[in-house]
Structure 1
Amino acid sequence: MDPLEVRELRYFIAVAEELHFGRAAERVGIAQPPLSRAIQRLERRLGVTLLERSSRSVRLTTAGETLLDEGRTALAAMARAARSAQRAGEPEPRLIMAMKAAGDGGLLSELLATYRARYADVHVDVHICGPGEQASLLRDGHADVAFMHSPQRDFAGLDTVDLLVEHQVAVMPRHHRLAGRDRLSMADLAGETMPVWPGARSADAAGPRIRDTGQLAQLITWGHVVALLPESVRDHLPRSLVCTPVPDAPTTTLMLAWPAGSRSPKLAAFVHAATTVARRVKPVGSLDP
């Protein structure tokens, strides 16, 4: 069998993600009939059915789910290879670190200072991204390393190291009925509308989906949601919001992640600096109100 072409993978992934040929055709910039024919040719070449079609729906088969996962990985690897080659030709070495706003657990300033003390010639670019975007930025080569939080399901193709374990606080507007409490329990928050984070699998989640931290802060300020967030966000929130400890909430783990198998000395030094700084920092999670 001939190798799969990049165009074929892009077409299939568009259909598999949209589960609608019309929307997928618009997304890849071709008409629907040639897109349908391209998918049929791909199925004939592979000798398997990738999509089950009916007059009302499109559904992935087991073979289709496998190709979607592997295809995403393959396209990301190709993009990363191209960007790595471009970066290698840059006149000045640099490291790109991705993180969501206030997502460093208070480590960033000391980490950058520690790293510069050893690698003064390497410029570290800090890229602020939306929640859940770090993994894709690492896989496609737009970032070299990222702060991420667990529980998180999207670590395929990445290596990680744990840095800090944090307790969570409930973040709400000052006029909220629970805002005057010294601490809360998960039972106290039952019935509150919670935000839905990128990648969440709960099909019946009622809260709004979060695109960025600015949107989240506005939704909390307006009283639309109450959010459980790592305690280290306290210093980054507007004064219109209050943070109340929730001792029985699940803890979160701040992690450093990077593409699996990376052999970059400057990246290895950055990981070492991060773990060193994390050991020196006072553990987060005292749950003081």
Structure 2
Amino acid sequence: MEIRELRYFAAVAEELHFGKAAQRLEMAQPPLSRAIARLERQLGVTLLERTSRSVTLTEAGAVLLSEARSILGAVTAAERRTRQAAQSRPRLVLAVKSGTAGGLLAKLLDAYRTEPDAATVDLLLCEAHQQRELLHSGQADVALLHLPFDSTAGLDSEMLYTEGQVAILPASHRFSGRSQIRVAEVTALPELPMARWPDHGGSYPEGPGPEVRNLTQLFQLIALGHATVIIPESAAADLRRDLAAVPVLDAPPVTTVIAWPPQSRLRAAADLIRVATRL
């Protein structure tokens, strides 16, 4: 198999539409279809089930998609790191979900800057569950993830710290002045439905609450009285004045970890990880 063939297959497998995949690849659809058919003949398996109305992945296709993402991610990372090697000072990409781990992030970057031969750290702010994909695709070198919400499957990681969770309510809400609250009380508020985050596949669970992807959007909805949420304590740091954070007594703890691809050999990444675990 060639890298080009894997790129073609990954595009079709992710779009599940030959026309959209061709647009994404900036090529015509007929040669793309021929390339996928040639790949299937080469492997001796059916990767995609095609009808006049839909395209679906076979079990073999799902396996190849997972492998293709890892391979293409490694290729992307190799290209980026090779270019960086020619620069006078190395660069490191750290993926962080927007609005989270603010206190830790500031301490980590300040401490890392004092390291001998510290690389330039580029922050890649992302939305829910994107950090793992950014690592696998080679767009990021290291990432901060939060268990149990994020998955570390296929990654190496080190635990940094564990914290409790808080409910975010409008400052004017009758529960905003309480010293603590329980999960059942938060989820039972009819006037403030629980906001819904996408899962690892990008789908939203069923429920009456609004669909959200980042904390800026979420906090605006809560301030307007359209939602509530239970999130890690650190995500509520420097909370806007029209919101209140109330500790949730029985919410499961959240563990922040620093994660990286297992094949990584970057000295700068190893140095950043060492500083993070020391903090």
TM above 0.5, yes or no, is yes
Superposition map of 1:13-92 within 5 A: 13-92=10-89
Rounded to whole Å, the distance in 1 between the matches of 2:95 and 2:202 is: 24
Rounded to whole Å, the distance in 1 between the matches of 2:48 and 2:32 is: 13
Rounded to whole Å, the distance in 1 between the matches of 2:34 and 2:226 is: 46
Is 1:145 equivalent to 2:131 in the alignment? no
Aligned positions, number: 274
Residue of 211, 227, 230 corresponding to 2:229? 227
Secondary structure of the equivalent of 1:224?
Answer: coil
TM-score by length of 1: 0.83
Rounded to whole Å, the distance in 2 between the matches of 1:254 and 1:104 is: 8
> How far off is 1:177 after superposition?
5.5
Secondary structure of the equivalent of 1:77?
Answer: helix
Taking only aligned residues, the RMSD between alpha carbons, in angstroms, comes to 2.5
Deviations 1:204-223 (A, max 9, x none): 43344433332222222233
Distance 1:208 1:35, change over 3 A: farther
Rounded to whole Å, the distance in 2 between the matches of 1:141 and 1:62 is: 25
Secondary structure of the equivalent of 1:197?
Answer: coil
Rounded to whole Å, the distance in 1 between the matches of 2:150 and 2:61 is: 20
Residue of 110, 126, 129 corresponding to 1:129? 126
Superposition map of 1:1-289 within 5 A: 4-104=1-101, 106-119=103-116, 121-152=118-149, 154-176=151-173, 178-190=175-187, 192-197=193-198, 199=200, 204-206=205-207, 207-277=209-279
Distance 1:145 1:116, change over 3 A: same
The aligned amino acid for 1:199 is H
Distance 1:118 1:29, change over 3 A: closer
> How far off is 1:227 after superposition?
1.6
The aligned amino acid for 2:250 is D
> How far off is 1:61 after superposition?
1.0
> How far off is 1:132 after superposition?
2.3
Rounded to whole Å, the distance in 1 between the matches of 2:183 and 2:62 is: 36
Structure 1 stretch displaced more, 45-54 or 76-85: 45-54
Distance 1:14 1:178, change over 3 A: farther
Q: Which runs of 5+ in 2 are unaligned?
A: none
> How far off is 1:198 after superposition?
5.1
> How far off is 1:203 after superposition?
5.9
Distance 1:54 1:204, change over 3 A: farther
Secondary structure of the equivalent of 1:220?
Answer: helix
Contact (CA 8 Å) 1:105, 1:164: kept in 2 or not?
A: no
Rounded to whole Å, the distance in 1 between the matches of 2:72 and 2:210 is: 30
Contact (CA 8 Å) 1:15, 1:21: kept in 2 or not?
A: yes
> How far off is 1:266 after superposition?
2.9
Distance 1:15 1:154, change over 3 A: farther
Rounded to whole Å, the distance in 1 between the matches of 2:155 and 2:220 is: 32
> How far off is 1:178 after superposition?
4.1
Structure 1 stretch displaced more, 250-259 or 31-40: 31-40
